[in-house]
Each structure stands twice: as C-alpha cells, then as structure tokens.
Structure 1
C-alpha cells in the first residue's frame, strides 16, 4: 500500500491510464505548465514515489498526453469527414478543428510543443492526416500534392487558433470575419476554393461544427 492524503491507497488501483487521465484533467483545468509530479500525486491522492511504478518521469506523462490528445482530435476529424467531399467537406474539417481547439484550449497547447515520443505521435496523427489528405484529394489534388497542401491548411488554421486561444487578438476584432478570410485564403492557396456564393460563416454550412469563442 501507499499512503495518500486521505489514507492508504492500494498500489494495484493505480494504473498508467489513470495517471494520464489525471494529467489531462490538470491540463484542461489549469494549463500545460501546471502539470507536475507533485500536482499529479495530489490529484490521485498518492505519494509521488508511487507514480514511478507506472511512468518513467514527467516527460513520459507529457508524451502520453500528446499522443492521446492527437488521437482524440484525429478520431473527431475522421468522424466529421465521413460522407463529405470537396470544398464543403474541407471546410467542415477545418471548422471541427477550430471548435475542438476552442473547447480544449489548454490541451490543444500540448500539440504546439515538440513531441516527446515522435513515432507514437505520428501514429496517433494518422487519422487526422488521412482525413485531411483524403478531403484534399476529393478536391482534385493529385495524391503527391496532398501532403504539402495538408500542411499548408494546418499551418494557416493552427496559427489562427493559437492567436485566439492566447487572447492575442483581443475582443475588439471580428474573429469570425478574420477566420473566414484565413480559411478562404488557405483553401484557394491549395486549389480547393469554395464557390463564391458558398463562402459564408461556418454555421451556414450543413453538417459543419458550430463554434463560439
């Protein structure tokens, strides 16, 4: 047994998944910088030393959080992509990306740092990459061009999302209007521009994910 703040806790009740779950809770509530072995042990009500039976160190936990976060975002984007094609489908994916990042701003920040476990992170990103590249292919892009196009789309939208999540743009600007400009430019830049009469707010696109700041 190990002794927690409220009494003894059996070692077998603690698992690696529970440690990662607690880490995600801390990040969602307090931010990436608030994650530490001390904050984890307090959240789990165990002594800090017991964590090392399940994880190597703090970087190991951070890497696991990055992988799970990327996998969760990828699964969400894969679901959004089903049954959609062309510019409207691509918009739906980007809208979903924006919505997810807005709902999980602190955890999304974990995707902005260099992956601790690059191989595992790349595997976790497969769903997101496949969804985006498949959608770009449905716009008529040759398969060999979809990777560069996907990175271009991600770079544009990721930049916007981070400016919003860090409050860099403040409250005085029309964020939806800026979003539309960024999105239209990104889509046009990869040869997947929307028809002029369909370029409107994301809420006007059937099946896309709504978003509010």
Structure 2
C-alpha cells in the first residue's frame, strides 16, 4: 500500500534531493524508499524501475537548468549573455551536485516534457551563439564546444579535480573569456 499523499512528483523531487546528498551514482530505489519511509515495492506504484526514476530525475533537473539558463540569457547578447549563462550553469552544477549529472542525459523522446526542457536548455546556448552570428550547422558545432567546456570545468570542479592553490572562480572566468574570443572568430560566424 503506497504511503498516503505520495505521488510521482513527490517521489521524483525527493529522489533529486537525495541525489544531491549522496551523489547521482548512489541514487537507488532502496535508498529512496528508506528516505520516504515506505517499502521498496511501494515505489513501483509511482515509477516503473530505477531507469524510469533516473529518466524522471533527468527531466526535472534539465527543466530546472533550462529555466536558470533562459533567465540568465534574457535581455542579454554576446559576451554579456555568455558570462551570465556560464555563471548560471556553474551555479546550478555546484548547488545540485547530484542532479546536475542527470542533465547530461539525452531527453527521452517518449517524454515530451523532457524533450521540451532539453530544447530550452540548448536553446539558451543557441541564443548566445546567435548573438555572435553563429547559426545553422556552425551553431551545432559551437554549442557542442560551449557545452563541453562548461561541463568539463564544472565536472572537474565538483570532483575536486582542481588542487592547485589558485582561485577556481578566476580560472572559470578566464575560460569564459577564452570562449568569448573563440566564438568571436568561429568559422561561419560574424567577424568582430
């Protein structure tokens, strides 16, 4: 018998919180059931299995990240937009160390909300690129470059991969400055 008041939304939100506490790889149905105070079989009323739970957490986290990126980009262009979106990206990853990795999953085509969230997140990057005059296939390449740089940095930072005695925020700022220079001279973009 499922716990009264428990539904899929509550299960997924609590799973996201748990992932932030224990890490994405350690998010299990058993740990979630214990946290919710229910027997493991009770969760199957709300999620089909561990893969389905991971997909739902990914959809939630992607929607959250997309909202933060689009808010950061709103009303900005060029370097200002790049800096604002990069800051929002890093902030989200640091505040949500367990659910951030879930944002890197390709949206499930059978989940329209997940697809929409993914499109919004990537759309924020494309909006920045448009400000640099980068469109079409060139924008796909540039978006992959920007995402790779941001993801690589925040992933290394979250894993404690920066041990040298230098301010990590300063290094991130320099990375964004380098991206700005790269985007200004991107093949197929508008020269600046």
Q: TM-score, normalised on structure 2? A: 0.86
State how far apart, in whole Å, the 2-side matches of 1:46 and 1:149 are: 46
Shift of 1:41: 1.3
State how far apart, in whole Å, the 1-side matches of 2:179 and 2:150 are: 8
Equivalent residues of 1:16, 1:54 under 8 A apart = yes
Task: Give the alignment's Cα RMSD to 1 decimal.
Answer: 2.1
Provide the residue aligned with 1:74 in structure 2: 66
Q: 1:142 to 1:35 in 2, by over 3 A?
A: closer
State how far apart, in whole Å, the 2-side matches of 1:111 and 1:168 are: 20
Gaps of at least 5 residues in structure 1 are 3-8, 194-213
Farther off after superposition, 119-128 or 162-171: 119-128
Provide the residue aligned with 1:160 in structure 2: 153
Shift of 1:171: 5.7
Provide the residue aligned with 1:146 in structure 2: 139
Q: How many residues align?
A: 184
Does structure 1 residue 95 correspond to structure 2 residue 87?
yes
State how far apart, in whole Å, the 2-side matches of 1:33 and 1:161 are: 17
User: Which of residues 41, 45, 64 is equivalent to 2:56?
Assistant: 64
Shift of 1:80: 1.2
Shift of 1:33: 2.7
Equivalent residues of 2:132, 2:183 under 8 A apart = no
Provide the residue aligned with 2:108 in structure 1: 117
User: Which of residues 32, 47, 54 is equivalent to 2:46?
Assistant: 54
Gaps of at least 5 residues in structure 2 are 187-192
Q: 1:134 to 1:169 in 2, by over 3 A?
A: same
Match of 1:125, SS state, is helix
Alignment of 1:34-49 (within 5 A): 34-49=26-41
Q: TM-score, normalised on structure 1? A: 0.78
Equivalent residues of 1:86, 1:192 under 8 A apart = no
Q: State the structure with more CA Rg.
A: 1
